[in-house]
Amino acid sequence: MIVITVGKSYIDIDGYASSIAYRELLRLKGIESKFVSNATVNYSIIDSLKSNYTVDNYLVNSNDKYIVLDLSDKSYFPDFVDENNIIEIIDHHPGYEDYWNSKIGCNALIEPIGSVATIIVEKYEQDNLLDKMNKDVAMLLMAAILDNTLNFTANITTERDKEAYKKLEVLINEYDYASKYFSECQKYIEDNLKESIDNDIKIQKVSEHLPNVFGQLTIWNADDLLRQKDLINQIMSNYNNEWMLNIISLNNNSSYIMYSGDSVKNKLVELLDCKEENGILIKTPAMLRKEIIKKAL
Ligand SMILES: [Mn+2]
């Protein structure tokens, strides 16, 4: 059996959607495969995307061959994967291109692109099977492209990602999916605010210009969250008396930065050249945490 799999610790929507869509593509070509993973699905796989198209209940055995998606760093492979039985790898994380090219040649496709989902869409096209793609599968791939490219604002975004997304929009006749997808993600974050902050916090002394505690949330529209300043204050103060929280609002491509007090604020104003409104710093276009850190260094 061919077993498609992803990273062992958690699955995000890109790995999840790509695995399901690739299994369905192989099926359309008359090749049977299974999508096997024991990893936890993260918040990017929203409830409305959970359907009959999901992981398979299949027990792997020593005769199985593996296709690994959205991953090429061996240390994150699931324990059941035998490296010598890997027949294909598709990924967009840099670092292991040479290793896999020397091992499996052109069956390793590792390239700088916004999402693996984009590559899977292109594979359907190459096989002339895009019009046979199931609508649930197309929607999964759309969510994956949106999530991994931060609605096409992340630096890794390419024209290929935008092209693939447009083709899926046409295929399922859905032209407002970005707001639907990110709004549902947002609802989860708002309903589980502490958990969401806790799951994406960086505690580290990186620079004189930044507090040691640096949180980040990515949502569609920051308005409601900005009204929850007191609650956010409470959550963040539990970590340290000096902190900042970068709330990336995708609909207007802005960062709203909350902070513990004047000393943090003054450093940030100087570093980022941003304005303050009602005790919140605003930076347009939005900056990712890794970009802010890069600037501080
Ligand atoms: Mn990915």
Cα 116 from chain centroid (whole Å): 10
* Spatial contact of 2 and 67, defined as CB atoms under 8 Å apart: yes
* Spatial contact of 99 and 78, defined as CB atoms under 8 Å apart: no
Superfamily of domain 194-296, CATH level 4: DHHA2 domain (3.10.310.20)
Q: What pLDDT score was predicted for residue 202?
A: 86
Q: What pLDDT score was predicted for residue 41?
A: 84
Q: What pLDDT score was predicted for residue 155?
A: 82
DSSP classification of residue 280: E
* Spatial contact of 112 and 148, defined as CB atoms under 8 Å apart: no
pLDDT band of 206, cuts 50, 70, 90: confident
The helix/strand count (H/E) of the chain reads as 11, 13
The pLDDT tens digits for 60-74 are 999 999 999 999 999
* CA 158/CA 192 separation, integer angstroms: 32
Q: Where are the beta strands (DSSP E) in 65-116?
A: 65-69, 86-91, 108-110
Q: What is the CA(206)–ligand 1 centre distance, in A?
A: 26
The pLDDT tens digits for 132-166 are 999 999 999 999 999 999 899 888 899 999 999 99
pLDDT band of 33, cuts 50, 70, 90: very high
pLDDT band of 40, cuts 50, 70, 90: confident
Q: 104 to each of 35, 67, 73, 87, 95, how far by Cα in Å?
A: 21, 12, 15, 7, 16
In the chain, where are the structural domains located?
2-184, 194-296
Q: What is the CA(260)–ligand 1 centre distance, in A?
A: 33
Mean pLDDT (whole number) for 27-52: 93
pTM attached to this predicted model: 0.84
CATH topology of domain 2-184: inorganic pyrophosphatase (n-terminal core) (3.90.1640)
* Spatial contact of 286 and 249, defined as CB atoms under 8 Å apart: yes
Give me the chain's average pLDDT, please: 94
The pLDDT tens digits for 209-259 are 999 999 999 899 999 999 999 999 999 999 999 999 999 999 999 999 999
Q: What is the CA(5)–ligand 1 centre distance, in A?
A: 13
Q: What pLDDT score was predicted for residue 198?
A: 86
* CA 191/CA 157 separation, integer angstroms: 29
Residues 198, 201, 204, 207: what is their CA dihedral angle, to the nearest 10 degrees?
-150
CA angle, residues 89, 91, 95, in degrees to nearest 5:
100
Query: Which residues 6+ apart lie within 8 Å of 218 measured at CB?
Result: 150, 248, 250
Q: What is the CA(192)–ligand 1 centre distance, in A?
A: 24
The length of the chain, given as a count of residues:
297
* CA 218/CA 151 separation, integer angstroms: 11
Q: What is the CA(59)–ligand 1 centre distance, in A?
A: 25
Q: What is the CA(83)–ligand 1 centre distance, in A?
A: 21
End-to-end CA distance of the chain: 49
Q: How many other CB atoms are there within 10 angstroms of residue 75's CB atom?
A: 7
Query: Which residues 6+ apart lie within 8 Å of 201 measured at CB?
Result: 213, 214, 215, 216, 239
* CA 23/CA 7 separation, integer angstroms: 17
Q: What is the CA(278)–ligand 1 centre distance, in A?
A: 36
